[in-house]
Amino acid sequence: MRRLAASLFILLMACDFSVFAQRRTGPIYRPPSGTGGSRTTRIPRPIPPPRFDPRTRQPIPTRPPVIRRTPSTSTGRVAGGPSSKVTIPPSSSPQVAVAKTQAKATLDQLRTSLRARLRSSTALSSGNVRSPKKPPTGGGGGGRKPPSGGGNNEEPPDRGNGLKNASQGFKEIFDNRSLRNQSIINIRDTLTRNGFKQTITNNRKGYLFKNELGEEIRIMNRGGGWDIRVRNRYGNNLDEFGNVAPPSKTHNIPVRSQ
Amino acid sequence: MKSANAYGIIEQLSKYHHFEECIIEEISWLNFGIAIEVRLNYIWQANGTLRQNLDEPEIVILRFNLVQEFHMINALNAAKCESPELINWGVNEIASVKYIENSEYIKKYKNLPVSFHHISFLWERGSNQKLDVVFSELEIETLK
């Protein structure tokens, strides 16, 4: 019985329990016999090879993995062996920032090309290929536009054809496209600010704004309401959009007294 | 309707709203130059409001008989001189037709057996464009 117990003890002492440790942490380096006794050392995890940008074929800068030396445990199993631990870099790191920038650029390119395709297909299907419209300027006629360059007589397509060579103030009252229901106060402000002189009309039933170029705007009081008549320097009466028009279109353009 | 006195002429003009904002369509010389006809596109209705169909001219003829003087000032500005092709009917839209009392034009015709009158076709203030007629008799007719 004693013999049996002694042999069992010897057998247990000879068993290697390091197999269980290998499952949890990694392979175990065994020094060759006769060099270090029974001590084992953990092999550090391999550092991943550098990644390359597929477009530029330049290596993506990476931070070296953070290696934290774990203190020796009381068990003494890994004492002296370098234990490595690769941590995920935080979102604010340059590596993540580069990746984000690249992804954003790719997404923007895709968006742009998709929009262009969509626009061309829409224009072709409707048979109306137009240049993009100008963004609307501020309302109320208060937004001042930069003065047009001298000698450039070309008007944007959305401008009335009666505004060719017109003065800045004359054009500015058409900034909201139509004169219909515009405020008299705003029109007056725009015109007087741009050098128009205000007087009373010949029939004393309205206000006349005139400048030295011969441009003429009349705001007439008829039947309890106000309407506007606009005449450019060539003597053409204009419609509410600034186009040279027949008499029916140049009359009865109401404006607001407030 | 014919008028040869000041009161009658003024009454006729007011009946026609003084031809405010009407458009001169044509001026003709008649009777070897002693009569002048001015055709206007009349834009008003009887109740004083604008006609609905302004693009269809409603012609009213002012016929001046025994015309002594006829003055026309177009007062073309630089833009009109440079691009006369851009001028259209708007140039001929007058502000009003006005009877000028005690006009300097008629003083020299005081000794004649008929009285003379002075009418001005006026454009808006600030414009020198003007048409003056010195005549003895005015006849206004609406073309149907």
What Rg do the C-alpha atoms of chain B give, in angstroms?
Answer: 16
Distance from the A236 Cα atom to the nearest Cα atom in chain B, whole angstroms: 5
Give the nearest partner residue to A202 out of B43, B91, B96, using CB atoms: B96
More confident residue, A218 or A177: A218
Tell me, what's the pLDDT at A140? 37
Question: pLDDT-based confidence at B4, cuts 50/70/90?
Answer: confident
Considering only CB atoms, A247 lies closest to which of B43, B49, B122, namely B43
Residues of B in contact with A252 (CB under 8 A): 50
Position A136 pLDDT exceeds 50: no
pLDDT value at position B121?
Answer: 97
Decide if B54 and A214 are in contact by the 8 Å CB cutoff. no
Query: Which chain B residues have a beta carbon less than 8 Å from that of A246?
Result: 54-55, 89
Give the span between the Cα atoms of B16 and B3, in whole angstroms.
Answer: 14
pLDDT at A258: 77
Confidence of residue A220 (pLDDT cuts 50, 70, 90): very high
The predicted structure's pLDDT at residue A15: 54
> Where is pLDDT greater, at A93 or A20?
A93
Confirm or reject contact between A155 and chain B (CB < 8 A): no
Distance CA A187, CA A193 (A): 10
Of B54, B87, B126, the CB nearest to A234: B87
Q: Which pLDDT value is given to residue B58?
A: 94
Q: Which pLDDT belongs to residue A76?
A: 42
Q: Is B35 on the interface with A (CB under 8 A)?
A: no
Q: Residue B142: name the closest of B59, B52, B57, B45 by CA.
A: B59
Q: What is the pLDDT of residues B71-95, one digit of tens each?
A: 999 999 999 999 999 999 999 999 9
For the segment A46-52, the average pLDDT, to the nearest whole number, is 61
Percent of chain B scored above 70 by pLDDT?
100
CA distance linking residue A231 with residue A28, whole number of Å: 97
pLDDT at A97 (0 to 100): 73
A235 vs B95: CB contact, 8 Å cut-off?
A: no
Q: Is A214 on the interface with B (CB under 8 A)?
A: yes
ipTM score: 0.90
Comparison of pLDDT for A31 and A97, the residue scoring more: A97
For residues A225 and A239, what is the distance between their CA atoms, to the nearest angstrom?
Answer: 18
How much is the pTM? 0.61
CA dist A119 and B141 (Å) reads: 61
pLDDT tens per residue across span A231-248? 999 999 999 999 999 999
Reported as a single tens digit per residue, the pLDDT across B9-49 is: 999 999 999 999 999 999 999 999 999 999 999 999 988 88
Say what percent of chain B tops pLDDT 90: 86
Distance from CA of B22 to the nearest CA of A (A): 10
Q: pLDDT exceeding 90 applies to what percent of chain A? A: 33
Inter-chain touch B90–A199, beta carbons under 8 Å: no
Instruction: Evaluate if residue B105 carries a pLDDT over 50.
Output: yes
A148 pLDDT band, cuts 50/70/90, is: very low
Q: Does B69 touch chain A (CB under 8 A)?
A: no
Structure tokens at B21: 């904002």
Find tokens 């991943």 and name the residue: A48
**Mean pLDDT of all residues belonging to chain A:** 70
Q: Choose, out of A155, A164, A191, A202, the residue to mutate when testing the contact with B (most B CBs < 10 Å).
A: A202
Position A59 scores a pLDDT of 64
Q: Do B20 and A233 touch (CB under 8 A)?
A: no
What does the pLDDT average to over A149-175? 77
For residue A252, with 0-12 CB atoms within 10 Å meaning exposed, 13-18 middle and 19 or more buried, which class applies?
middle
d(CA A18, CA A83): 16
Q: Would you state the structure tokens that stand for residue A162, as one six-digit string?
A: 């009666």
3 state DSSP class of B9? helix
User: How many CA atoms does the CB half-sphere of B94 hold within 13 Å?
Assistant: 24
**Range A147-155 average pLDDT:** 45
Q: Tell me what pLDDT residue A31 has.
A: 53
Tell which wins on pLDDT, A53 or A22.
A53
